[in-house]
Amino acid sequence: DHFSSTDELKSLVDLESYLIESLDEYILETQNVLNEVIRLRNELTEENGIALEDVNDYVTNPIAALKLIRRLSVDWLQLMEFLETDENDFSQLFKVFEKAFPDLSDLEGAVNGVIRIQSFYNLKTKDLVNGVLQGQYFENSLSEKDCFEIAKSYFEMKQFKRSAEWFKEAKRLNFNSNHDSIVIYLANSYGKLGKYKKALHLISEELDDDNENKNSLIKYYKESLQKDTIFQEEHHKDHVCGGNIKVDPKISKNLFCAYGHFYAAPFLKIAPFKVEYLNLDPPIRQFYDVVTDDEIEYIKKTTTPYLKRSKSGFEDPRVSDYRVSKSIGIALKVHNFLSHFDQRLNDITGLDTNSSESLQVANYGIGGHYDEHHDFIEGTVNENEGNRILTALYYLEDVELGGGTAFIHLNVLVPPIKNSMVLWYNLYPTGKPDYRTLHVGCPVIKGSKWILTSWIRERGQELLSPCPVEYNPQMETVI
Ligand SMILES: O=C(O)CCC(=O)C(=O)O
Ligand SMILES: [Fe+2]
C-alpha cells in the first residue's frame, strides 16, 4: 500500500508533478496544432465565403478558379497533415471526399491557363494579381502562394522577365517562411536577364544570413559582374486575340454589313440573314441569328454528358496544351430537333451539306484555347470526302471576356456572339489550301465558350460549285 509511508506519498507527488509537466507539453503541442488548423480553417472559410456569394461568377473567373483548385489540391492536404496522427471522424470523412479533389496536374492546368491569358492578351502582372482583367476589376486577387506557383512556371518556361515580375509580387505579399526561396528565385530570374547587380543586391540584403546558399550565391553573382554577356530584352507583343491591332484602313474602309440572300435560296428572299464582312479577301463573314436559343439549349443538353478532352492533329490526334477544350461529335441526322440546321448552311453557301462531317461541339473553360492551325487537311486527303472547303463556326454562348476567333495573318478578330456564325473558305476555289486562313481559338479570360463547328467537304460539290478561277464577291446577291 501507499498510504502507510509518507516517503512513498512524497514520491507520488513528484510523479504527479512530472506528469503534469508532460501533460502541459502535450496540451501546448496540441494547442499549437489546433491553432494552426484554426488559422488555415479561417483562411479557407473566407475564400469559400467569397465563392458562395456568387458561385457562377467565381468559377468563371480565372483567378478565383486557380485559387479554388490550389485550395483543394494543396491547402486542404496541408491542413490534413496536422490531423493525420489521430484517427478521428473528420479524417475518415475527408478520405471519402478526397478522391473527388483536383490534383497537382489540375493545378498545373489552371496555372497554365492564367499564363496563357496573360501572354495572349498582354496583361500586366500587377493587374492580374489585383483581379483586373482587360481593364475590368473583379473582386478576386491572387495570394502569395498563387503568385509563387505562376512565377515558378514562368521560370521553368525560361520567361525570366515574367518570372521576375511574379516573384516580386510573391515577395511583396509574403509574410511566412517561404521568404528565402522567393528571394533566391527572384535573384536568379534577374541573373538570367543579366541583371547581376540587382541579383547581388537582393541576395546580400534580403537573404537570411543563416541561409546555407548565401555565400556561394554572392560569390557567383560577384563573378558574373566581371563577365560582359549580351542579353536580349524580352518583349511582350500584342496578339490579334487582344483586339488592339489596327487594321489597314485600305482594307477596313471596304468592309460592310448587309442583309444577304445567297445563291438565290428562296427562303432567304423572304428572310435574309444579317451578315457582316470582317474581311474581303479571303472572305470572312459573320452571320447573325442563324442558330436559335432552343437549338442551342438542345445541343448543350444532348452533348454535355459526352464531352471529352479534345485532341489535335489529323494523323495522330493527341491531347496537348495546343488545344485545351472538351468536345464531342454530333450527327445531325439522328436529331430531328436540328432538322433545319443544315438547310440554313445550305441556303447560305449553296453547297451540299450532306457531305459535311458530323458537327463538332466544343466547350472551352477558363484559359481554354485552340492554338494556331488551319482547318484544311495537309497531306493525304481521303478521296471519297475531299478536303475541307469551308468552315462554319457557330457561337452558342456569349463569352464575358476573351474567347474570340483570331485570323492572325489578316488581323481579324471574330467576337464570340451568341446565335451567330462565322464562315470562311479554307481552300481557294481551285482546291488549293489557303494559308491565309491560319487561325486561333483565343483563350477564354472570363466565362465559358461553347461553339459548334461544321466542315463542308469537297465531294458532292462538283456541280454546285464548279471551280471559278478566283473568288468573286459578286457571286452573291447582297441587298
Ligand atoms: O474556338 C474557336 O474560336 C476556333 C475553333 C476552331 O478553329 C476549330 O475548331 O477548328
Ligand atoms: Fe479551326
Separation of alpha carbons 392 and 370, rounded Å: 16
Query: Is the pLDDT at 478 greater than 90, yes or no?
Result: no
Burial of 15 (0-12, 13-18, 19+ CB in 10 A): exposed
Nearest CA to ligand 1 atom 4: 441
Nearest CA to ligand 1 atom 6: 441
End-to-end CA distance of the chain: 114
DSSP track, 119-142: HHHT--HHHHHTTEETTEE-S---
Q: Of 457 and 262, which is predicted with more confidence?
A: 457
Distance between Cα 422 and ligand 2 center (Å): 11
Residue from 377, 405, 424 whose mutation best tests the ligand 1 pocket (most atoms within 8 A of CB): 405
Q: How is the chain split among helix, strand and coil, in percent rounded to 5?
A: 45, 15, 35
Nearest CA to ligand 1 atom 10: 375
Whole-model pTM: value is: 0.87
How do residues 306-345 score in pLDDT, each as one tens digit? 999 998 876 778 888 889 999 999 988 788 888 888 888 8
CA 234, 236, 241: angle at the middle one, nearest 5?
155
Distance between Cα 463 and ligand 1 center (Å): 29
Query: Is the pLDDT at 474 greater than 50, yes or no?
Result: no
Query: Is the pLDDT at 469 greater than 70, yes or no?
Result: no
Separation of alpha carbons 13 and 276, rounded Å: 94
How do residues 134-145 score in pLDDT, each as one tens digit? 999 988 899 999
The domain ranges of the chain are 1-112, 143-236, 240-478
Q: Quick one: pLDDT at residue 356?
A: 65
- 389, three cell numbers: 472547303
Superfamily of structural domain 240-478: q2cbj1_9rhob like domain (2.60.120.620)
Residue 222: band (very low, low, confident or very high) from pLDDT cuts 50, 70, 90: very high
Distance between Cα 441 and ligand 1 center (Å): 5
Distance between Cα 47 and ligand 2 center (Å): 38
C-beta of residue 208 within 8 angstroms of C-beta of residue 214 = yes
Strands across the sheet containing 412-414: 370-373, 439-441, 405-407, 412-414
Q: Of 54 and 340, which is predicted with more confidence?
A: 54
The ligand 1 site (C-beta within 6 Å) comprises 370, 375, 393, 405, 439, 441, 451, 453
Distance between Cα 439 and ligand 2 center (Å): 6
Separation of alpha carbons 305 and 327, rounded Å: 10
Atom of ligand 1 nearest to the CA of 404: 3
Helix runs in 316-433, H state only: 341-349
The H or E element spanning position 405 is strand 405-407
Average pLDDT, the chain: 89
How do residues 423-441 score in pLDDT, each as one tens digit? 999 998 888 899 999 999 9
Q: Quick one: pLDDT at residue 333?
A: 79
> In this structure, how many other beta carbons lie within 10 angstroms of the beta carbon of residue 418?
16
CA distance readout (Å), 188 to 125, 160, 177: 19, 9, 19
How do residues 67-93 score in pLDDT, each as one tens digit? 999 999 999 998 888 887 667 788 888
HSE-CB of 297 using CA atoms within 13 angstroms: 3
Query: Is the pLDDT at 223 greater than 60, yes or no?
Result: yes
Which 3 state secondary structure label does DSSP give 348?
helix
Q: Mention the CATH class of domain 143-236.
A: mainly alpha
Q: Is the ipTM of this complex over 0.95?
A: yes
Which 3 state secondary structure label does DSSP give 218?
helix
> In this structure, how many other beta carbons lie within 10 angstroms of the beta carbon of residue 213?
12
Q: Quick one: pLDDT at residue 479?
A: 35
Query: Is the pLDDT at 121 greater than 90, yes or no?
Result: yes
Among 352, 351, 343, residue whose Cα is nearest residue 291 = 343
Beta strands in 144-295 (DSSP E): 257-261, 273-279, 284-288
C-beta of residue 308 within 8 angstroms of C-beta of residue 325 = no
